[in-house]
Amino acid sequence: MKKNSLGKMDSFDCILPDYGRRKLLTYADSIKELADTFRETEQGEIKENTARTEDRKDYLWQRKLAENRNLMAGHLNDMAQIMTKVAKESRKCEPMSARRFKQIAHAFKEVGIQIKNLYLIENEKERMEVCACLKSIKKDTLSAEEIGDLLSVLLNIRLESVNDNHFFVGPQWQSFYYVQESEYHVLTGVAKAVKETETISGDNYACFETRDGNLTAVISDGMGSGEKACRDSSMVVDLTEKFLEAGFQAETAIQMINSTLLSGEENANMSTLDLCSIDLYSGECRFVKVGSACSYIKRQHLVDRISAGNLPMGIFQKPDMETIRRTLADGDYIIMFSDGITDALSQGIGEEILAEVIGGCNLMNPGEIANYIMNFCIHQSKGHIRDDMTVLVIGIWKKEEE
């Protein structure tokens, strides 16, 4: 990689130096070999133990051990794939003339900010990313968002600050990272109710945005109710968020979480998982369901029902996942539930009424919609809350051009 006189890199195709790429690929190959060793050992031991043992209990134990080794091999392969993907990931760094850099540096100096480096990067999805190394030279400094607004004007690119940036520019050199602004923005609303015989809900949920412009919403319903159900569903939600933010694919993350549930000390560690991932640039939406209740997409008065007929996690070695894709439009709402909502309706008029209730709702705020659905379900069950209930509503709107 070449550098110009300003210390900025000229155009290049890979963000990692060759040495780092080779090292990552070597690690990936070593992990793949380790995974193959696990599989070879497993196959050899199954044949040997099957041939020489007649004890059913011993055979089942050996079989369980072999299945665990197979799971470990699968996880090692997933790790190797992620490392290979990172090593081969490419970025195109756009060169900047010395004159343009000086103009930007002058504009920053006028607001009390000194700039050392500025990188314009085009990622594999042809979206612009900007990295700037800055420090404040005045007491009254700017926030990361204000810096993003200034860069947007200077570079003529609509930029937004990533979540892990420092809030303000400090007196020491700090790197600030910005990505091209997405086409859509979202608002979320949640309504929850705890089972009437419990003090803590067995449902848990999370909404989080990743750097690649994806908003992910997750609801998990632990088996039963109370503290144990809460622990199981909380673990599922927390691990899902961590794995996805680390770069794992949703299917891989679910397989690893399922293995964690199976290896728990309790006899039964079952939880549902309802995952919705929205690409805020394209509006593409993906649902991944494992034993979860139906979800709905509301477009004005039209309602699309998203359902899957599989079992929760923590039952089989390989969880049964169902993936459904949709394309969202400006003003759409996504409504996700835990099983308590459908259970409440099953005591009366039935779950089929939900689509009609959602389609007939004229509210616009996601929080108000969630409360409206929750109150309707409680009313239908005559005020009884027989199971934990969670309603999560996501509204998506196209950003207005400035």
Q: What are the boundaries of each domain within the chain? A: 18-88, 92-180, 184-398
pTM of this structure: 0.79
Structure confidence by residue, pLDDT tens digits, 340-391 = 998 888 766 778 889 999 999 999 999 999 999 999 999 988 888 989 999 9
Which of the given ranges, 2-16, 92-106, 208-222, 284-298, has the highest pLDDT on average?
284-298
pLDDT at 252 exceeding the cut of 60: yes
Structure confidence by residue, pLDDT tens digits, 111-160 = 999 999 898 988 777 888 999 999 999 888 999 999 999 999 999 999 99
Contact 269, 233 (CB under 8 A): no
Antiparallel, parallel or unpaired: β 284-290 and 273-279: antiparallel
Angstrom distance (rounded) from CA 163 to CA 213: 11
Pick the more confident residue, 33 or 399.
399
Structure confidence by residue, pLDDT tens digits, 41-90 = 555 555 555 544 456 667 676 766 676 677 677 777 777 777 777 767 66
- Which pLDDT score, from 0 to 100, does residue 2 have? 43
pLDDT at 292 exceeding the cut of 50: yes
- Which pLDDT score, from 0 to 100, does residue 349 have? 73
Q: Is 212 exposed, middle or buried (0-12, 13-18, 19+ CB in 10 A)?
A: middle
Q: What percent of the chain has pLDDT over 90?
A: 48
Angstrom distance (rounded) from CA 292 to CA 144: 39
Is 184-398 in CATH node 3.60.40.10?
yes
Q: Is 354 exposed, middle or buried (0-12, 13-18, 19+ CB in 10 A)?
A: buried
The separation between CA 217 and the C-alpha centre of its own chain, rounded to angstroms, equals 7
- Which pLDDT score, from 0 to 100, does residue 79 have? 74
pLDDT band at 287 (very low <50, low <70, confident <90, very high): very high
Pick the more confident residue, 293 or 17.
293
Provide the mean pLDDT of the chain. 84
- Which pLDDT score, from 0 to 100, does residue 4 have? 44
Q: Where are the beta strands (DSSP E) in 197-283?
A: 203-209, 214-221, 273-279
Structure confidence by residue, pLDDT tens digits, 146-199 = 999 999 999 999 999 988 899 999 999 999 999 999 999 999 999 999 999 899
Q: Compute the chain's Rg from CA coordinates.
A: 26
